[in-house]
Amino acid sequence: MNKPCEPHSVSPWNSAEDGHRALRDALGAFATGVTVVTALDPDGRAIGLTVNSFNTVSLDPPLVLWSLSLASPNLAAFRKASHFAVNVLAADQQAVSERFAQRNSDKFADIDWREGLGGAPLLSGCCAVLECRNEAQHAGGDHLIFLGRVEGCSRQDKAPLVFHGGRYRALREV
């Protein structure tokens, strides 16, 4: 017999700071995969950053989305890029995630990659790579939501890197 759900106790936010912290904590309960989204900037330089706001939108047509802070120094370059790649990181790529999460580093130094559609860097060793046309962008609060039309993809049989509760995690069978 199923028991009814017990209500969660919800506390009113006493300040915007309390609300932001509570929201971040609640959202941290949702496990996500970890991706590195890459593209070429207008000068032809490889750019990339760690993203866990990635999601599927549609299979027909094949659409995915991810979001980027309006404060990101890479925002203008990603807006102008014709294509981007979503590199789904494998469990052994935590160091790659950490590198691409940094702002001022040579992110592609010593990283094995090849050029994909529109020049977007495709990282080696990932669980999956999706090559996307930069289809549309939509305002979303303090972020810009990128909609990509998947034009190519590949997959390797590897365990994914997972992020939950502010930490990297590994999957296990249940």
CATH of the domain at 129: 2.30.110.10
Contacts of 147 (CB under 8 A, 6+ apart): 57, 63, 64, 65, 135, 136, 137, 138
Q: Which pLDDT does position 41 carry in this prediction?
A: 97
Q: Which pLDDT does position 149 carry in this prediction?
A: 99
pLDDT in tens, 89-128: 999 999 999 999 998 778 999 999 999 999 999 999 999 9
Structural domains in the chain (count): 1
Structural domain includes residue 14: no
Structural domain includes residue 9: no
Q: Which pLDDT does position 35 carry in this prediction?
A: 99
Structural domain includes residue 18: no
Q: Which pLDDT does position 77 carry in this prediction?
A: 98
Number of Cβ within a 10 Å radius of residue 37: 27
Structural domain includes residue 12: no
Structural domain includes residue 167: no
Structural domain includes residue 80: yes
Low-confidence ranges of the chain (pLDDT < 50): none
Q: Is 62 exposed, middle or buried (0-12, 13-18, 19+ CB in 10 A)?
A: middle
Domain that holds residue 102: 33-162
Q: Which pLDDT does position 154 carry in this prediction?
A: 98
